[in-house]
Amino acid sequence: MNDRLAGQSRKPTQVPVLIVGGGPVGLTLAMDLASRGVETLLVEQRAASEPPDARCNHVAARSMEVFRRLGIAGKVRDAGLPADYPHDVAYTTSLCGYELGRVRIPSRANRFNDEGYADGGWPTPEPPHRVNQVYLEPVLFQHATTFDKLTIISNFRVDGITHLDGAARVGGTDLTTGNTQEFEARFVAGCDGARSMVRQTLGIKLQGDDNLMHAMMATITAPDLLKKAGCSPAWMYWIINPRQTGAIVALNGQDEWVVNTFFSEKPDEESFDWDSAVRACIGDDIDFTIHSKKPWAGRRLLAEKFSSGNIFVLGDAAHNWLPMAGYGMNAGIADAANLAWKLAAVINGWADESLLRTYELERRPILDQVSAIAMQIRKRNNVTVPPKIEEASEEGRAVREKIGRYMVETDGPQFACMGLNFGYFYEDSPIIVYDSGKPPTYTLGTYTPSTCPGCRTPHIWLNDGASLYDRLGQGYSLLRCDRSIDVGALERAARAASLPLKIIDLEEEKAAASVYDVPLVLVRPDQHVAWRGTGLPSDLGRLIDHVRGARL
CA distance 315 to 499: 28
- Amino acid type, 261: T
Q: HEC states along 41-88?
A: EEECCCCCCCCCCCCCCEECHHHHHHHHHCCCHHHHHCCCCCCCCCCC
Q: Considering the entire predicted model, what is its pTM?
A: 0.95
How would residue 42 be classed by pLDDT, with cut points 50, 70 and 90?
very high
Residues 333 and 465 in one domain: no
Q: Domain with 255 in it: what CATH number?
A: 3.30.9.10
Is 1 domain-assigned?
no
Residues 98 and 36 in one domain: no
Q: Domain with 495 in it: what CATH number?
A: 3.40.30.120
Helix (H) or strand (E) holding 141: helix 133-144
Domain enclosing residue 160, as ranges: 14-77+131-204+305-373
Residues 394 and 523 in one domain: no
Residues 192 and 310 in one domain: yes
Residues 393 and 537 in one domain: no
How would residue 13 be classed by pLDDT, with cut points 50, 70 and 90?
confident
Is 2 domain-assigned?
no
Nearest Cα residue to 318 out of 257, 272, 365: 365
Residues 404 and 455 in one domain: no
* CA angle (476, 478, 483) in 5-degree steps: 160
Domains identified in the chain, total number: 3
Is 379 domain-assigned?
no
Nearest Cα residue to 216 out of 294, 133, 322: 294
Nearest Cα residue to 449 out of 418, 491, 481, 489: 418
Q: Domain with 334 in it: what CATH number?
A: 3.50.50.60
Is 238 domain-assigned?
yes
Residues 234 and 115 in one domain: yes
DSSP code string of 288-356? -EEEEEEEEEEEEEEES-SEETTEEE-GGGTEEE---TT-HHHHHHHHHHHHHHHHHHHHTTSS-GGGG
Helix (H) or strand (E) holding 248: strand 245-250
Give pLDDT tens digits for 234-257. 999 999 999 999 999 999 999 999
Residues 231 and 116 in one domain: yes
Is 7 domain-assigned?
no
End-to-end CA distance of the chain: give it in Å, rounded: 37
**Residues 242 and 389: beta-carbon distance below 8 Å:** yes
CA distance 167 to 309: 9
Residues 326 and 472 in one domain: no
| pLDDT for the residue 1 | 38
Supply φ then ψ for residue 24, to 5 degrees.
-60, -35
Give pLDDT tens digits for 290-347. 999 999 888 889 999 999 999 999 999 999 877 766 678 999 999 999 999 999 999 9
Residues 70 and 217 in one domain: no
| pLDDT for the residue 10 | 47
DSSP class of residue 110? G
Average pLDDT over residues 117-137: 94
Give pLDDT tens digits for 379-426. 777 778 989 999 999 999 999 999 999 999 988 888 988 998 999 999
CA distance 364 to 304: 9
| pLDDT for the residue 169 | 95
> Alpha-carbon dihedral of residues 160, 310, 500, 535, nearest 10 degrees?
140
Residues 431 and 471 in one domain: yes
Lowest pLDDT segment from 52-61, 168-177, 348-357: 52-61
| pLDDT for the residue 325 | 64
Is 273 domain-assigned?
yes
Is 258 domain-assigned?
yes
How would residue 12 be classed by pLDDT, with cut points 50, 70 and 90?
low
Residues 259 and 403 in one domain: yes
Is 28 domain-assigned?
yes
CA distance 72 to 49: 19
